A and B are shown apart, each in its own frame.
Chain A
């Protein structure tokens, strides 16, 4: 479903050159949740942005359902759903107007968009919020609206960048339910997070990213065998210390 092959990206920050992503590769199948894990600045978000076509890679490629970002960006974008913790809302639009606007951006027919809007709102428990102004929502409500927004065009691949950042216990639980639901729907999901405990509970396979390089990849069992540690936190402590 999603193939990432040898992606590389360098940035020039003031006077120094930073290798944000250095040859990252992984694959995610339909119905699989892949945890792209790493501390802040590991290159997780840059990798997602390269998959989306928002950042041009220096080398490598990303492929979604047989389409490559570089050669067919529109086909890739229409097959990707993207949710980021730093995403905002249009404060003067109602939740419904905002969701339908994004449906339009993805070329979803208005009748289908309206029906999906109702369906997803029901699922995520935001139906009472649909006619409220988006600017008046709480952080948790806003995050749920953004999750619905990411699914409005029914993409086969979902990219979630730090989806639980800034949320309380109930909010985090909602995200978990959402991801489980995505898995059941047969979507390929990439979750970027530095919350390793959450990732352990959620993801089927993992990629441990540090300073732009993929250090370990596999299921939790495989990682345990490779590292000799039981938990992802311990594996990262070892990685950061090396």
Chain B
């Protein structure tokens, strides 16, 4: 019985291949977009973890030479003798690959490859000609050039090789030199101060190093949101395909039940059937996702590298966890998409009407339920918009806005079509609008998919473009000086004395760690100058904030600190035993910690031991090159110690272009998925259309004309949907920028609108709808009269 029933159920798909393809493609595309984006995220995060493990970055404080040069072996030995648990690191590049030499005996636990006891032979590692660890692509750069054993290890950071310190020094031609000293977390209680043993070294804390994971979380969160929306679009296709298939199989199910197959067995077999489809499509989806991720990853890697200095592998490793999560998401999505269809089937009485209850016959009661649910989502969204202050409530707001809009779409479209119908005149136009309204239930799921795809694109484009504008403004603000110079503390006075007559202004950059309202804060002393007055913008400020800072009574806070301590302009804060009035709050994007700015004089009073060795130099652009060469000639200051603002800005913009490549690729993919949903809905509805169109054809509208009207109908429905999708996308962007971002990272991004981009997206969406409608319309124009005549035959 089970085999026969299963064969009968499957026979439906054999005879309705298009529906099967829709279903499988829907699941596969949804899974592919989700797992592709997740793969990019996972790969990037794995790269950070490997980087942290390899370099100890973000985990251990380290010592560097204050002048940026190398540390000699004697200083290391002196520190060890004085009880400092430090471990030497040397770094360099060979054939473009970063080579890191470390001392296995003194390295803190957890620094690869010392912890990899399965592969690492400590003896060989220490022998000087022993082992070099790295990813295969990085090892390939050394092949044939060294005699050491090359060991492939995926846990090493991308484009990085690790080996013994002495061997690395030899390889790099830097015998006896050390670049930095990692400081073990636990140190002896009594040890001489750093100033006594190695005054030329500067301690750099783990926090102020690159906590890559936190800085890039915003980027990944946004990608995840995009992946989720793409999945939702795919989910609508699956829901639509399952719903239609179940509706069309009702007579068959009734017959099978009447012939003696119990309902529970039938339901179980249909579940097995769907699980099978979900697994097949899920596997295809994961593979497709891998290709999507492979295509996106080089750009994402470049973006992250440029934005945050995060080194991400540009190639993708196939991870077992993707299979698991990809298949789970396919199964989970299919299950959710089919719940309502199964419930309906379970409740269907055996003697229910056998005729096909197509979507076009959906009762008014369902519209009422949709309206109630949409209204409930809208109320929830309004409440959450006013109260949401966490990540969960932010995403709940996002979900309620999107689900509410999707549910309301058929009702809004119906009203729009009703209005168009009342404005139209002539029998053909009247019929066209009435017929379009009749098609709406059958197309509503595909249109919901288009709505979500378009809204996601508008939302994410708005967010990324807003991010770019804000970030460029932020760079203008923070990198207002033409040059940034780092010098040794003891030479600072001499060099600034030399620079004073040659530049327009010297702006020292000096900071100290402090606590404001119990929050860890980096306090800066600023020399107030027109540079800040002209370039800095504030999220909230009193009148003339810089004058008040210069006067000594005012303090500026970054947004993170202001939000965390709920301290805004007008409030008084204590710092170093003194009270300051908060006169302004500024955006400080990407910075995970609190920051405050007081005047240079106040700072010197509070932290007399802190001496500036970083300076911003204001100088006319045409004098930059001359000054750079003067600095090199006079003080031996190399270009590594000078940052040219123009180059950074140019590079940043280039990075954003890469970001746009990723976003644009995802935009095209989601719109393609939505277009696919429309195509499949139109094709599956095409068979049901014949009885509706035959009478119109019979009274004198040609097949060609009917085909053209089908195309027009799809375009009008897509256009109306786009009219709703654009504002929805802007709301989506607002939720991401002003609610989710604040909850996740403590800073809010301003929202900008980009009408030209929206117009471009709208044209792209209309094009997708037109392409989707073209084939069904063409099929209609080529429909044989005999097919249309069958409608009027008794024995149909």
Judge: A and B partners, yes or no: no
Q: Which B positions have Cβ atoms within 8 angstroms of A?
A: none
Q: Which A positions have Cβ atoms within 8 angstroms of B?
A: none
